Amino acid sequence: MKRRNSSLIFLSIIIYFLGLVKGYLSPIIRIDFEVQNLNLNQIEANLSYIEILENNILVVVCEVLGGIFLLPVINSLFFSGFTVGLTLNNLIVLDSGLKNSLLFILPHGILEIPAIIIAGAAGFKIPYEIVRYLAGKKETILTKEDVKEYLTLALISVVLIVIAAWIEANITLKIAKAMLNLTM
């Protein structure tokens, strides 16, 4: 893809990373699994592949289609990063340690995070091209190539999010159960 798409991806990374740092540095929300009578079996029962996929697709759609107004893209990227940062902070506080905390996030996050960032870049694509047109840097608002690049970014993010949701539902929760010594 062209260099300007790299700039849009970089912008998405910055916004996501700012959210992640803010979430990580936020006041700790201590989660006490025993006091809440919450266990991983209950979480697993409530987090099916379809439910995870619906939630993640909503994030991607918000970013991909929200670019017309920009705020939904920025908000979604920041909040997604914030959620990961806050989760990581809470897992570390629960004495899981950094290694175990990353095991809760990385199996699916290795695809989910890039999917969210790429969706953000897609969401920035159309406003970026409109600004370029208004600045006189191009003759038409959107070219076929611009639309093709936008759709490619959107498709890549959807494919990654579908795979990440499957991993989250079928692998991440099993790792979490094993780490917490729960019987399956």
Query: Average pLDDT of 31-59?
Result: 64
Per-residue pLDDT of 92-130, as tens digits, reads: 776 667 777 787 888 999 999 999 999 999 999 989 998
Residue 52 amino acid letter: I
Min mean pLDDT across 23-27, 29-33, 116-120, 131-135 is at 29-33
Report the chain's C-alpha Rg in angstroms.
18
Rounded to two decimals, the pTM is: 0.83
How far apart CA 80 and CA 36 sit, in angstroms, is 25
The DSSP string of 73-113 is HHHHHHHHHHHHHHHHHHHIIIIIHHHHHHHHHHHHHHHHH
**DSSP secondary-structure letter at 28?**
P
**DSSP secondary-structure letter at 184?**
-
Domain boundaries, the chain: 3-28+39-179
How far apart CA 31 and CA 120 sit, in angstroms, is 30
Between 79 and 31, the more confident residue is 79
Query: Average pLDDT of 61-69?
Result: 82
Query: Average pLDDT of 60-67?
Result: 84
